[in-house]
A and B are shown apart, each in its own frame.
Chain A
Amino acid sequence: DTAVSQTPKYLVTQMGNDKSIKCEQNLGHDTMYWYKQDSKKFLKIMFSYNNKELIINETVPNRFSPKSPDKAHLNLHINSLELGDSAVYFCASSQGGFYNSPLHFGNGTRLTVT
């Protein structure tokens, strides 16, 4: 059983398009996250939801909008895609605070904007 699953695994699209990435966790965790990993492997947190409530919203263009329909799902919608959005996006979950609880990551979505 996959603990944190995200789809799609690869996403190739053109500039200006709108796309979504879906994430689901079956661990019963109360907190979910979106991370962005750039080409140099640097990890940057984008958003965090606790029990469907947004608790972290880092400096991210407002073209990125997370949506959490329930505790087990956190989707990421991106409008008007730009070349600089190309990266690997990871969904993660934890039970409790993200700074003091282990994170469980999905396998990532590699987004390529052409």
Chain B
Amino acid sequence: AQSVTQPDIHITVSEGASLELRCNYSYGATPYLFWYVQSPGQGLQLLLKYFSGDTLVQGIKGFEAEFKRSQSSFNLRKPSVHWSDAAEYFCAVGDDSNYQLIWGAGTKLIIKP
């Protein structure tokens, strides 16, 4: 069965430092890849998506992600985090072979002042 792994339950980063959140998936074909952010008490908001084409995608709020087929990864990055980036981040993978959207368990980002 397809799966999505976000290895880090939580990550602590100092404000202004760079960030990388990991996402690995198991799926044979090229999947549809998403990153969502959930701020406290809010619903999820799409940060970026990858369907095809350039493997480096830009999203909102200064985030980017890179699809690496050889590593089955879609890691999220930001060069300099702000305190407002503190949130839960979810990776999701769409599978068009059985019409599923599979969610990772989320990574909680904590920002140190």
Contacts and interface: CB of A to CB of B under 8 A. Distances in A.
A105 B96 contact: no
Contacts of B66: none
Interface residues of B, number: 24
Q: Is the interface of B mostly helix, strand, loop or mixed?
A: strand
Contacts of A102: 34, 46, 49
Interface stretch (A11-19, A41-49, A63-71, A77-85): A41-49
Contacts of A98: 94, 99, 101
A111 to B, nearest CB: 14
A99 B105 contact: no
Contacts of A97: 94, 96, 99
Contact of A105 (B44, B49, B99, B105): B44
B46 A99 contact: no
A99 B96 contact: yes
Q: Which of B36, B44, B94, B105 has the most CB of A within 10 A?
A: B44
Q: Which of A92, A99, A105, A108 has the most CB of B within 10 A?
A: A99
A90 interface: yes
Interface in B34-67: 34, 36, 38, 41-46, 49, 51
A100 interface: yes
A90 B44 CA distance: 9
A4 B44 CA distance: 11
Contacts of B38: 41
B49 A99 contact: no
Contacts of B41: 107-108
Contacts of A106: 43
Interface of B: 32, 34, 36, 38, 41-46, 49, 51, 88, 90, 94-96, 99-101, 103, 105-106, 108
7 contacts: A41-B88, A42-B103, A90-B43, A99-B95, A100-B94, A102-B46, A107-B42
3 nearest A-B residue pairs (beta carbon): A105-B43, A99-B94, A99-B101
